[in-house]
Every structure is written in C-alpha cells, then in structure tokens.
Amino acid sequence: MDQRDIRLAWETFLTDGRPPAGVPATLLASWERSRTLGVGAGRTEAPLADAPEIFRRRSQNAALVGAARPALERSTRFLADAASMMILADASGFIVETAGDPRVMDKGRRNHLETGGRWDEATIGTNAIGTALADGRSVEICGAEHFCEEVQRWTCAATPVRHPLDGELLGVVDISGPAASFNPQSLSLAVAIGQEIEASLGRGAKMEHEVLLRHFVSKRSIWLSEDILVVDRRGMLVHAAHKAGAPGSGLASDIRQMIGTASQEAWEANCRRRFPNASLEVVKRDEAVVGCLIVLHPARRRSASPAAVSRPAGEEGLAFEQILGNDPALHAARERARRLAANSLPILIEGETGVGKELFARAIKGASPDPDGPFVPVNCGGMARELIASELFGYAKGAFTGADEHGRAGKIEKADGGILCLDEIGEMPLDLQSYLLRVLEDGVVYRVGEHEGRRVTIRILAMTNRDLLAEVEAGRFRRDLYYRIAAARLRIPPLRERGADVVLLARRFADVAAARLRRSAPVFSAKALERMQAYGWPGNIRELRNVVDTLVALAEGDRLDEHDLPPEVLATPHLAQSPSSAGPLNSGNDSPAPLSGVDLKAAERAAILAQVNACGGNLTEAARRLGIARSTLYVRLAEYGDGRALKN
C-alpha cells in the first residue's frame, strides 16, 4: 500500500471503527492498541518533561547513553545534511538523547520529538519508538501509518536495544526525518547502531565482571568459611561461592530485586532484609560502582545455658574419600592421616598455603575415636595480638574495658571433649606460647583476669606453612611447645608435586562452579590442560579453585581454551625455556622450580610488556598473541602505569 492508500485506511479505521482490508496486521494491531489506550488522533505533541526529570532519566540510563555516545557523535556529523536525526529513548519511550541534522531537530520540537519527550504508544499512539517497544522488534512507521495526524509528517525507523547478557530491554534507537525525504536505509542504520550499542554494553559488562572477580579473589582468603555472592550493579549474579547459589534457590531473582532495581543507597538495607547475617562490600572501578560482594556469615547460635557455652555442638567431620586426588604422594598422606586419626596424638600438619591442610584436619576429626566432639579452628595469624589471649583462653567478668559483663569462654574451653585446630601456629606470639604449653601440659585453662582454673580435655591439630624447626633454631618458637604439638607430623604435598591431579581438580571445580551458575560445565582443551599442568601453582589448590571459578564465570561458550587462562599461567612454560633459567631449573631435576608470587607477577609483567613492544604498541595484536582479552591487557597496563592503555 502506498501512502495515499494508508491514509484512506487510517481514515476508515477512525470513522467506521472496523479494520480496513490490506493494512499489515502489525500496523493494524498498533492502531487498535492506540485507540484502546485512549489516544486521540488529533493529539499534536507528546508530553515533555521538565529539566529535573530529564536529568534523573539520563542519570538512570547513563550506561545506555555512554554506550551510544560514539554513534551519537557520528550522527552529529554524518546526518548534519541528511534531513535525519538519531534518537535514543529508554525502555519507557522517554527520549534521553538526540543528534543529527539541526534543522530536523528543530522541527522535531513542534511535536516534542526531542530530549524529554515521551513517545510510548499510550501517550502518542503508533510511532516507531513506541511500537518497537510494544512489539519488541525493529519497525518502520512511515507518514500516514502514525496514529496521530500531526505526527504523520514524520517517517521513523526504530530497533530495540537489549542488554547482551540477559536480554533485558534497555531502550530504542530511532532514525527519524520528514516523511517527504524517506530514506529506505534508515531501518538498517538503526539496527546497525543498536547492535553497536549492545556490543559496547557487553564489553563494558565483561570488564566490570573481571574487576568484580579480581576483587573477589583478593578477598577470598579473608572469608574462607563464608558463602560469597558476586553481584554486578544491574543485580546480575556473576559468581556464587560454595552453597550460596545452589540451583532452585530462587536466589538470582531475589538479588535482581535487591540490587538491580534499587538505588545504591538501598543495597545494604535490602541485603540485610534478605540475609540478616550478611555484610555487603561495594566494589568500584575508577570511582564508579561496578557491583558488590555479599558475604553470608554463618548465623550465630545463642546458647541456652552455661553448659552450652563450654561445650558447643560438634561440626560434621569430612571423610578422607572426599579429599580428591589420585597421585601417590597424596594417597600416602591420606593413609598416614587415616592411621594417625585413630588415636589422640597431637599432629602437626605441614604444607604450603592452599594445599588443603584444614581439609585433612577435618578428615582426621571425622575419623577420630570421638567424631561427634567439637572441632574449633583458630587462626593464630589472623587475630590482633592483643586479642589472641582472650580469644584462646577466654576472659572473666570485667577483665578489661568493653568486656562482656558475664565473661566469655575461650576457644580452648569450647574445644573441650574435641579438637582444637591451631592454624598458622608459627604466627603465635612467643610470650603466649608458654601459656598454651601450660594448658597442654596440665589440661587446665585460666581465663584472662581469673584465678580459678577450668579442666579441659582436648586434642591438638596444629597447622603451619613454615619450617617450625627452623623457627625453633632462630628463637622464634619454643622448642618444648614444638615437641608437644608435633608428636606426629603430617606433610601435605603441594599441587605441583601431584601430577595429573591438576586435571582432576580443575574438572571437578569447573563442575561445581557451573552448577552454582546453573549452566553446563565447560570442557578444557588439551592445550589448556597442558598449560595448567606446567604451571607451578604457588597458591596450590586454593589458587587453582579461584582460577577455575573465574574461568567458568567468564566463559562465553562450552569450551575453555589456552587463551582463556590468566597471564601468570600462560607465562610459566616460557620462563622454563628461557636461556637464563635453563640451568637452575633443569639441574638435577626434571620439574621446574616453584616460583614465588612476586616472581610470577614480575614474570607476567615482563612477558606482557615484551609482547606489547614486539607489536609496536598495537594492543589488539599483543592481546591476540598473549592469548588474553584486550580489556584484560588494558587493565594490566593500567596497573603497571603504562600510558598506552589510555591512548588506545
């Protein structure tokens, strides 16, 4: 139908109220909606908001406007003499930005086709902006196809803009111009700009998710026993550590309501209502909020009697079979621990950070003669020095300013009848070691500020990543205490000594992480697994778990390849082959020497800067050769203070 036929059909529709023949079904449906919504065909202009409302709407849609900024700036130049204008509207049809031919933009003000105008079908009838929102698809409304007669002087083409991660409708891109200068390419241009905006939003979201996950990894060691939710600023659940994101929990929709639809000021209050024991930490990038971490602290149990204070309920033990690994070194450690668990000997569990010492301690507890007794962990290196004594030994009423008026039992009393697990025992101050030794020797604990002893029966499992005998020789650890806690010693092998266990654990962690995110687990390529096995894993199992959790959270498909791995993992094999390191690394040993965290960071920095220089500063090519995302390369260069990240 040409414009004259459309005009006649429109007049017939308004006069007779019957659907005229030949009118496209989608257009006729929009006319019907307009009439049902009470829009008068004689309406001459859309509602126009005042300046404060425009400011509020633009602030709410800052991400959308920012992603559209390059296209808007191009439109200012390319549409300057094309009798067309570009319009960006939000999901309600509210126009938040315009650009293009100044003469056309000036004509648009006559109908409030300008910033602040509201162009949904309920207010101005059939038009490309409102109809694209109503139908959820790209549309072109030409001249007489508009419902309001005064608006029929326009021809408009619009396409919806959706967020690439979850498909949420964010707004509309529209190309409008006088009906007399109809351009058949307007719809294609609108669709192309819409796709450009969605791609920009996707890149921005991915970069923000990387920032959130890096922050999560940096904080994970602080909250080892808590469930943690990583949430972006739109309320999307990026990652859920442990049981927090169990399938079927309805958690994702709750988080969206708490964070995505609320102001930042309301995040913490909303979080507290949903999770009474939670704390919320806002994460920023360049002073802009990108999301938050929600830490779900265990609920504190209130005791009903003094007996409950002195004898807390026991925690479930862990079976040795749940400690994954088939390597002979790990198998030997498991069997030794199983045999030691059957008696009450104090055990010193030795191993590097992240090897799973506490897992072994809990498995020993589960296989001990009294598996139902309490298991009380104490991090000797994680408490302020002035608090260690009161935490371990407890304190009497009024022992110091701010003390509980009834006094408080310490960790040793709470472990009565069970196991006291002393992590990082080598960090305990020397003067407190003598008090601990006396408790172990006499079986009597004295609270701070109290002279009456309380008898306790406890088994000690101590854990350390230090060479305690060397600490004894250096005078930093008491020799008598060492022999008291190390009646038996159990060494947990580091991950680099466990061969194929890296593959087994990586796949297991990927399965668990994918289940939390309610998606199928990605498959590691052979090259990725080779790289992971070649890496030294200075952070051991904890580092591997964090890396895999991050890979799964950022995965865009069902396969994880070599280029998905972080730079430190990719850099290690190259270091092993470098001329400067060939001698020491291969001298009498086929395995590469372990690298410290500082060495790895320096190696990563050197490898990245060398590749950027080799590519003549072309960051796109450097990122391709390094096998990392370009956004990741920008972040790394910014961390190094390299200005090239800002120039690209």
Question: How do residues 187-212 score in pLDDT, each as one tens digit?
Answer: 999 999 999 999 999 999 999 999 99
Question: What pLDDT, on the 0 to 100 scale, is given for residue 384?
Answer: 61
Question: What pLDDT, on the 0 to 100 scale, is given for residue 626?
Answer: 63
Angle formed by the axes of helices 619-626 and 630-639, nearest 10° = 100
Question: What pLDDT, on the 0 to 100 scale, is given for residue 402?
Answer: 55
Amino acid, single-letter form, for residue 312: P
Sign of the C-alpha dihedral, residues 412, 414, 420, 423?
negative
Using the predicted structure, report yes or no on whether residue 317 has a pLDDT greater than 90. no
In 10 A of CB 506, how many CB atoms?
21
Using the predicted structure, report yes or no on whether residue 576 has a pLDDT greater than 80. no
Whole-model pTM: value is: 0.49
Question: For residue 601, what are the CA distances in angstroms to 364, 571, 606?
Answer: 36, 10, 9
Measure the CA–CA gap between 624 and 307, rounded to whole angstroms.
Answer: 64
Burial status of residue 558 (CB atoms within 10 A of its CB: 0-12, 13-18, 19 or more):
exposed
Please list, in sequence order, all residues whose beta carbon lies within 8 angstroms of the beta carbon of residue 335, skipping any fewer than 6 positions away. Answer: none
For residue 94, the 8-state DSSP code is: B
- Mean pLDDT on 74-102: 91
Which residues of 425-573 form beta strands (DSSP E)?
444-445, 454-455, 459-464, 488-491, 523-524, 559-560
Measure the CA–CA gap between 331 and 336, rounded to whole angstroms.
Answer: 9
> Can you tell me whether residue 246 is helix, strand or coil?
coil
Q: Would you give the end-to-end CA distance of the chain in angstroms?
A: 50
Question: What pLDDT, on the 0 to 100 scale, is given for residue 128?
Answer: 96
Question: What pLDDT, on the 0 to 100 scale, is given for residue 585?
Answer: 30
For the chain, give the mean pLDDT.
82
In 10 A of CB 630, how many CB atoms?
17
Please list, in sequence order, all residues whose beta carbon lies within 8 angstroms of the beta carbon of residue 474, skipping any fewer than 6 positions away. Answer: none
Most confident stretch, 429-438, 589-598, 621-630? 429-438
**Which of 246-250, 252-256, 370-374 is predicted with the least confidence, judged by mean pLDDT?**
246-250
The encoded tokens of residue 253 equal 């929709």
Question: What pLDDT, on the 0 to 100 scale, is given for residue 47?
Answer: 94
Q: Greatest CA span in the chain, whole angstroms?
A: 104
> Can you tell me whether residue 158 is helix, strand or coil?
strand
Please list, in sequence order, all residues whose beta carbon lies within 8 angstroms of the beta carbon of residue 411, skipping any fewer than 6 positions away. Answer: 376, 378, 391, 392, 420
423 or 311, greater pLDDT: 423
Nearest residue to 290 via CA among 217, 227, 215: 215
Nearest residue to 179 via CA among 112, 120, 131, 128: 128
Measure the CA–CA gap between 234 and 294, rounded to whole angstroms.
Answer: 14
Element (H, E) at 445: strand 444-445
Question: For residue 39, what are the CA distances in angstroms to 145, 230, 403, 576?
Answer: 15, 45, 70, 74
Q: Is 488 within 8 Å of 350 (Cβ atoms)?
A: no
Measure the CA–CA gap between 455 and 459, rounded to whole angstroms.
Answer: 13
User: Which residues are paired to 282 by β-bridges?
Assistant: 292
Using the predicted structure, report yes or no on whether residue 300 has a pLDDT greater than 50. no
Question: For residue 406, what are the CA distances in angstroms to 44, 313, 399, 451, 528?
Answer: 76, 21, 10, 16, 58
Q: Is 461 within 8 Å of 347 (Cβ atoms)?
A: yes
**Which of 102-106, 224-228, 490-494 is predicted with the least confidence, judged by mean pLDDT?**
224-228
- Mean pLDDT on 54-68: 91
Using the predicted structure, report yes or no on whether residue 225 has a pLDDT greater than 80. no
Alpha-carbon 431 to chain mean position? 42
> Can you tell me whether residue 571 is helix, strand or coil?
helix
Q: Is 86 within 8 Å of 68 (Cβ atoms)?
A: no
Nearest residue to 145 via CA among 39, 30, 40: 30
Residue-level length of the chain: 648
Using the predicted structure, report yes or no on whether residue 5 has a pLDDT greater than 70. yes
When pLDDT is cut at 50, 70 and 90, the band that residue 280 belongs to is confident
In 10 A of CB 338, how many CB atoms?
13
Question: What pLDDT, on the 0 to 100 scale, is given for residue 57?
Answer: 92
Measure the CA–CA gap between 194 and 171, rounded to whole angstroms.
Answer: 10
Task: Give tens-digit pLDDT for 332-375.
Answer: 999 999 999 888 889 999 999 889 998 999 999 888 887 888 98
When pLDDT is cut at 50, 70 and 90, the band that residue 596 belongs to is very low
Burial status of residue 264 (CB atoms within 10 A of its CB: 0-12, 13-18, 19 or more):
exposed
634 or 646, greater pLDDT: 634
Question: For residue 378, what are the CA distances in angstroms to 47, 189, 237?
Answer: 65, 63, 32
Question: What pLDDT, on the 0 to 100 scale, is given for residue 226?
Answer: 73
